[in-house]
Amino acid sequence: MTLTLFYITSAVAVFATVMMITRLNAVHGLLYLILSLLAVGVLFFLLGAHFAAVLEVIIYAGAIMVLFVFVIMMLNQGQKTIEQERVWLQPGIWIGPSLLALILFVEMLFIVVFGGSAETGRVVNAKQVGIALYGPYLLAVELASMLLLAGLVGAYHLGKPILKTTKTGERS
Amino acid sequence: MNGIPMEHGLLLSAALFVLGLIGVLVRRNLIMILMSLEVMLNATGLAFIVAGSRWGEADGQIMFLLILTLAAAEVGVGLGLVLQIFRRFHTLDADSLNGMKG
């Protein structure tokens, strides 16, 4: 039973990724990318990595995708934006992602309702992860925090309105 | 070990990675390139989770956490660069940015 769910979810993930890299419009690609990430989250759950599944949904499909949406919307300022959004959000666009999301939702319901029969893989729970994370991997956590700090400073610096430029747009 | 064979999980991970790689190589829109990079990072994370599930160890999830951190930092810096490029050149086409100064 787990195997069937695994194959269905794998198909959803691969299909959503293929659709993502073939979309001409960045927003449509983003919709399918979110679907791909959610499908991988379900895969994590099926593999018994519940903590990683939660993080996948919250951080990947939540925070990072919001960043993408934010930048795409920032790059489309001006009068034509409203027309553009009207074209982007046509009802037909939503059908594909909605169907894929529905498949994932049905799988989730199935796992929740038939929790006993749809047994997931070998479960490594959050407690074990936490103990290992702050035990032998303490240095890695510190390095990750340094990386995030560097990313924060870099994003702040690069996100300033304009760096040193002349009027022609070339570096002075 | 019940359920999912490790080979199939690794195969799926490789397929997603190759799809992301194709996206990086084929697409010329900078935002699409960044999104394909996300798919590649996600596929590597999936490989780690599959391995961690196979041996029932927490190390796989910890490597996934580190990859998540890397992806977050990479997206922050990458999207900042995209904003700067758009402000300077008014385009997101990667091929039009082939000129160097000096």
- Here the ipTM equals 0.90
CB contact under 8 A, A120 and B35: no
DSSP-H helix ranges across chain B: 6-26, 30-55, 59-89
B84 vs A contacts (CB less than 8 Å): 158, 163
Burial annotation A61-74 (CB, 10 A radius, 16+ → b, else e): beebbebbeebbee
Nearest to A49 among B29, B52, B75 (CB): B52
Structure tokens of A161?
């309105």
Rounded-to-integer distance, Cα B50 and Cα A123, Å: 12
Question: What DSSP element (H or E) covers A19?
Answer: helix A2-22
Nearest to A124 among B12, B52, B71 (CB): B52
A155 vs B contacts (CB less than 8 Å): 76-77, 79-80
Q: pLDDT: is A122 or A42 the higher one?
A: A42
Report the mean per-residue pLDDT for chain A. Answer: 84
Structure tokens of A134?
């702050």
Nearest to B53 among A14, A20, A47 (CB): A47
Please report the pLDDT score of residue B49 as a whole number: 92
What count of CB pairs under 8 Å joins A to B? 189
Q: What is the pTM of this model?
A: 0.87
> In which band, very low, low, confident or very high, does the pLDDT at B1 lie, cut at 50, 70 and 90?
very low
A127, closest residue in chain B (CA to CA): B58
